[in-house]
């Protein structure tokens, strides 16, 4: 263990690998709401957060579970299409709170081109929220719609046993994986229309 008069014990969350305080300071000094995106193997969570003197204030948030409970999403919640729809949902929620701009906060996640965090960002952008970013990191439209999953399902359909094993979660919920792009479009339309209804007097 390091010793000496100049040694400083790192903050607890830095030692736990949860917070990079140098990056966090820069985000706070931007004076813009933070768009935080966090992913696990099965879910995506996104929040719009404003820093306050007494602590952060969460303005709004969206979780992949909301897609299933509110909008009839039948596919797994840990894939790219679900991440995009979660961002789209959070973006429309943010607009109801008069949020127009935000700055991206991905925490300690490694930024990888086309990753789920950037699919979520694309959903936020498509909802009309301005977030500084590079277009090169965003996944292409076909991947966002789940076309790569549908194509793989078609290839695997020649092996019924492998097909059943790989897509058991889809089938158990009554969704053929080959129909994922169409299901994605239907769910996207439900999210958009639900907020259009709220605007009407």
- Top pLDDT among 15 and 171 is at 171
Please tell me the predicted confidence (pLDDT) of residue 91. Answer: 97
Q: Are strands 34-39 and 103-105 parallel, antiparallel or unpaired?
A: parallel
Please tell me the predicted confidence (pLDDT) of residue 111. Answer: 81
Please tell me the predicted confidence (pLDDT) of residue 11. Answer: 62
> Which tens digits make up the pLDDT trace of 76-127?
999 999 999 999 999 999 999 999 999 998 877 788 999 999 999 999 999 9
Q: Which of 44, 47, 48 is nearest to 67 (CA)?
A: 44
Token pair of 102, please? 């935000």
Please tell me the predicted confidence (pLDDT) of residue 157. Answer: 93
Please tell me the predicted confidence (pLDDT) of residue 47. Answer: 96
pLDDT band at residue 131 using 50, 70 and 90 as cut-offs: very high
How many other C-beta atoms lie within 10 A of the C-beta of residue 133?
A: 15
Each domain of the chain, given as residue ranges in start order, spans: 14-199
Angle, CA of 77, 81 and 82, to the nearest 5°: 30
Please tell me the predicted confidence (pLDDT) of residue 120. Answer: 97
pTM of the model: 0.85
If you average pLDDT over residues 188-201, what whole number do you get?
Answer: 83
Structural class in CATH, domain 14-199: alpha beta
> Which tens digits make up the pLDDT trace of 14-65?
565 556 666 666 666 667 898 999 999 999 999 999 887 777 789 999 999 9
How many other C-beta atoms lie within 10 A of the C-beta of residue 35?
A: 26
- Top pLDDT among 180 and 111 is at 180
If you average pLDDT over residues 182-195, what whole number do you get?
Answer: 97
Q: In the block, which residue shows the tokens 């990079």?
A: 20
Please tell me the predicted confidence (pLDDT) of residue 23. Answer: 67
Token pair of 78, please? 């840990």
């Amino acid at each position: 263990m390091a010793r000496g008069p100049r040694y400083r014990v790192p903050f607890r969350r830095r030692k736990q690998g949860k917070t990079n305080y140098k990056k966090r300071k820069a985000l706070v000094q931007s004076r813009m709401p933070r768009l935080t995106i966090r992913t696990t193997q099965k879910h995506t969570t996104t929040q719009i957060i404003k820093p306050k003197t007494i602590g952060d204030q969460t303005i709004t948030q969206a979780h992949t579970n909301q897609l299933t409970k509110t909008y009839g999403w039948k596919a797994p919640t840990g894939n790219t299409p679900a991440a995009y729809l979660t961002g789209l949902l959070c973006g429309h929620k943010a607009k109801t709170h008069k949020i127009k701009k935000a700055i991206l906060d991905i925490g300690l996640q490694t930024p990888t081109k086309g990753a789920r965090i950037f699919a979520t960002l694309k959903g936020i952008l498509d909802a009309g929220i301005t977030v500084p970013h590079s277009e090169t990191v965003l996944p292409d439209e076909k991947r966002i719609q789940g076309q790569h999953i549908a194509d793989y399902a078609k290839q695997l359909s020649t092996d019924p046993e492998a097909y059943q094993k790989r897509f058991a979660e889809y089938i158990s919920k009554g969704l053929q994986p080959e129909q994922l792009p169409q299901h994605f479009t239907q769910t996207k339309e439900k999210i958009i229309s639900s907020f259009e209804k709220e605007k009407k007097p």
